[in-house]
Amino acid sequence: MNSIDFAKAIGDETRQQIMALCCCRRLSVSEIVAQLGVTQPTVSHHLKVLREAGLVKREKHGKNVYYTLIQEKMAQGCCRVAEDFAPQIDIKSIS
């Protein structure tokens, strides 16, 4: 994914909230809906965008589907943005 597509995927406030919720844990759509207080179709739409961007992993267990943020993809996207827009900075040297 290029920097612009990555930025579009993470640029929405609801998607940012979903990513924060799904970081380091698995949540079902209904759990995300309950925590965000938005409708199920809205959450499903945003999860689809994040899934297509490769930023969340989908796991089906029985009737439930769980989502988890793929932290490696998030970090790669952030590094790609930095490389594209600040190429003179050595990303590895920033602490």
Neighbours of 83 (CB within 10 A): 12
pLDDT tens digit string along 35-61? 999 999 999 999 999 999 999 999 999
Residue spans of alpha helices (H) in 1-95: 3-10, 13-21, 29-36, 40-52, 71-85
Average pLDDT estimate for 80-90: 77
Amino acid identity at 88: Q
Tokens of 17: 């909230």
Tokens of 67: 């989502």
The pTM assigned to this predicted structure is 0.84
pLDDT tens digit string along 66-84? 999 999 999 999 988 888 8
Tokens of 12: 């929405």
Under 8 Å between Cβ of 36 and 27: no
